[in-house]
């Protein structure tokens, strides 16, 4: 089965989220975990942005030797030289050069003609290849670039020595069928050359980053650029954990695998939250607090009978310690019985009915019943049992 490489940009694009900046020690700690997670490339930073970021990329390259380390550079000589310096200690360095290619960006942001863009792309990739064995080129705002010019850009990049072509949906504007079609057209233009990997990098401005990334896989892309917890500029990037699990759960549909160790996903997510101080939303897929939590009685009953009824993947598979049954006004008696047993209680049917009545009454007021609330209810209802038994025994005597 074909393999899709996971290019993690948590330490670069993810760090560009407001308030998500990491110091060198935090970058190294997260990079080690990304290596344990099984990512194929770690983009460690944007060296030209500051001397501190350059040195942080160097330190990550020194500390993490089992995963290729990438550094980002604009198609400018000073950027490329800074990235080359940062990557010098890397066991397997990758230079990642980008230039905007949409007419909007060329005209408004760069004040550059198409011809000037092609020259910059070619010359900077050639400069990079003189120092680094692997060069990736990204056509910024590819999703809004004229397709004929985009094909020309990709040909120039390949001719100059780039072996990875990244066509990002920089502003999260694409929809899946259009994004996939873009890659198919570029592949056809290049005649599907050997040794060239197409890459997708999607932002989540319309909530379609993961969907677009998966559409790209169907179109022949074999590298996905993403971040842990989906952090990144504006609404963020495609979430690594969602892509990895989608490709695993729907393996037969996509026909590809990844090297991601799924049981490290939850730990990676929690580590990033600890470092950045930003928790994921409770309803976040795969790693959110509610991803394997069940409150509705119908769902709880189904899970008790067979977890496959309402879980397409087990919590343990992605490193979540266990599923949870949340006791609230929607909960059922079977889930309540399980919760009581987990606390060491074996209620009779009458006791269970009374506990259930009290739980639902409390849930209407408090929205959720905490474990200590359930213990108090169980103690109050079930402490009467010995007295009743003693009374019956006395009466019989």
Q: What is the pLDDT of residue 389?
A: 39
Does residue 98 contact residue 137 with C-beta atoms inside 8 Å?
yes
- Coil/strand/helix, residue 8: strand
- Comparing 242-251, 256-265, 316-325, 367-376, the range with the smallest average pLDDT is 367-376
User: Dihedral angle at the C-alpha atoms of 205, 207, 210, 212, nearest 10 degrees?
Assistant: -70
Give the tokens for residue 50: 């500051």
Q: What is the bridge-based pairing of β-strands 93-100 and 69-74?
A: parallel
Decide which of 380 and 226 is more confident.
Answer: 226
Decide which of 369 and 270 is more confident.
Answer: 270
DSSP string for 301-350: HHHHH-GGGT-SS-GGGGT-S--EEPBSTT--HHHHHHHHHHTT----HH
State the residue for tokens 């308030």: 19
Measured at the CA of 162, the angle between CA 158 and CA 166, to 5 degrees, comes to 95
Q: Identify the band that residue 386 occupies on the pLDDT scale cut at 50, 70 and 90.
A: very low
Distance of CA 322 to the CA centre of its chain: 20
Gyration radius (Cα) of the chain, Å = 27
On average, the pLDDT of the chain sits at 93
Between the two ends of the chain, the Cα-to-Cα distance in Å is 76
User: Dihedral angle at the C-alpha atoms of 251, 254, 256, 260, nearest 10 degrees?
Assistant: -60
Q: What is the pLDDT of residue 13?
A: 95
* 188-229 pLDDT tens trace: 999 988 999 999 999 999 999 999 999 999 999 999 999 999
Q: Identify the band that residue 384 occupies on the pLDDT scale cut at 50, 70 and 90.
A: low
Helices (H), 101-239: 103-104, 114-129, 147-160, 176-190, 209-218
Q: Identify the band that residue 385 occupies on the pLDDT scale cut at 50, 70 and 90.
A: low
Judged against a pLDDT cut of 70, whether residue 393 lies above it is answered with no
Element (H, E) at 386: helix 384-396
Q: What is the pLDDT of residue 313?
A: 95
Element (H, E) at 134: strand 134-140
Give the tokens for residue 158: 């390949």
For residues 202-225, one letter each, b for 16 or more C-beta atoms within 10 angstroms of the residue's C-beta and e for the rest, the string is: bbbbeebbbbbbbbbbbbebbbbb
Q: Identify the band that residue 390 occupies on the pLDDT scale cut at 50, 70 and 90.
A: very low
Distance of CA 40 to the CA centre of its chain: 14
State the average pLDDT over residues 68-77: 98
Helices (H), 174-305: 176-190, 209-218, 240-249, 251-254, 265-276, 297-305
* 19-42 pLDDT tens trace: 898 999 999 999 999 999 999 999
Q: What is the pLDDT of residue 162?
A: 98
Cα–Cα distance between 397 and 394 in angstroms, integer?
A: 5
Q: What is the pLDDT of residue 116?
A: 98
Judged against a pLDDT cut of 90, whether residue 70 lies above it is answered with yes
pTM of the model: 0.89
State the residue for tokens 């979430």: 239
Q: What is the pLDDT of residue 89?
A: 98
Q: What is the pLDDT of residue 391?
A: 40
Cα–Cα distance between 209 and 169 in angstroms, integer?
A: 8
* 308-326 pLDDT tens trace: 999 999 999 999 998 888 8
- φ/ψ (deg, to 5) at 226: -155, 175
- Domain 2-276, CATH among 3.40.50.300, 3.30.200.20, 2.160.20.10, 3.20.20.70: 3.20.20.70
Q: Where are the domains of the chain?
A: 2-276, 293-387
């Amino acid at each position: 089965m074909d393999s899709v490489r996971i290019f993690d940009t948590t330490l670069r694009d993810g760090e560009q989220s407001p308030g998500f900046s990491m110091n060198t020690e935090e970058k190294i700690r997260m990079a080690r975990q990304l290596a344990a997670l099984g990512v194929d490339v770690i983009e460690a930073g944007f060296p030209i942005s500051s001397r501190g970021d350059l040195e942080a990329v160097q330190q990550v390259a020194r500390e993490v030797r089992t995963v290729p380390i990438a550094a980002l550079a604009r198609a400018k000589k000073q950027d490329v030289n800074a990235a080359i310096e940062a990557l010098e200690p890397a066991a397997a360095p990758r230079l990642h050069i980008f230039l905007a290619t949409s007419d909007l960006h060329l005209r408004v942001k760069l004040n550059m003609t198409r011809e000037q863009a092609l020259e910059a792309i070619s010359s900077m990739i050639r400069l990079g290849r003189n120092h680094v064995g692997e060069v990736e080129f990204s056509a910024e705002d590819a999703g809004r670039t004229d397709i004929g010019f985009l094909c020309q850009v990709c040909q120039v990049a390949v001719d100059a020595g780039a072996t990875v072509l990244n066509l990002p949906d920089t502003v999260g504007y694409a929809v899946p069928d259009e994004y996939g079609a873009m890659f198919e057209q570029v592949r056809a233009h290049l005649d599907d050359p050997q040794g060239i990997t197409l890459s997708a990098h999607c932002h989540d401005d319309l909530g379609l980053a993961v969907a677009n990334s998966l559409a790209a896989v169907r179109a022949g892309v074999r590298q996905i650029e993403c971040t842990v917890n989906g952090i990144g500029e504006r609404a963020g990037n495609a979430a690594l954990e969602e892509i990895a699990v989608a490709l695993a759960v729907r393996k037969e549909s996509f026909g590809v695998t990844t090297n991601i160790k799924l049981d490290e996903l939850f730990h990676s997510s929690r580590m990033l939250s600890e470092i950045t101080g930003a928790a994921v939303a409770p309803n976040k897929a795969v790693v959110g607090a509610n991803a394997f939590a069940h409150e509705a009685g119908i769902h709880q009953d189904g899970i008790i009978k067979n977890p496959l009824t309402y879980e397409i993947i087990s919590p343990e598979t992605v490193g979540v310690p266990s599923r949870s049954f949340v006791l609230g006004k929607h909960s059922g008696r079977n889930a309540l019985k399980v919760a009581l047993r987990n606390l060491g209680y074996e209620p009779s049917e009458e006791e269970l009915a009374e506990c259930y009545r009290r739980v639902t009454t409390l849930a209407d007021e408090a929205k959720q019943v905490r474990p200590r609330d359930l213990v108090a209810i169980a103690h109050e209802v079930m402490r009467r049992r010995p007295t009743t038994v003693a009374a019956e025994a006395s009466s019989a005597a």
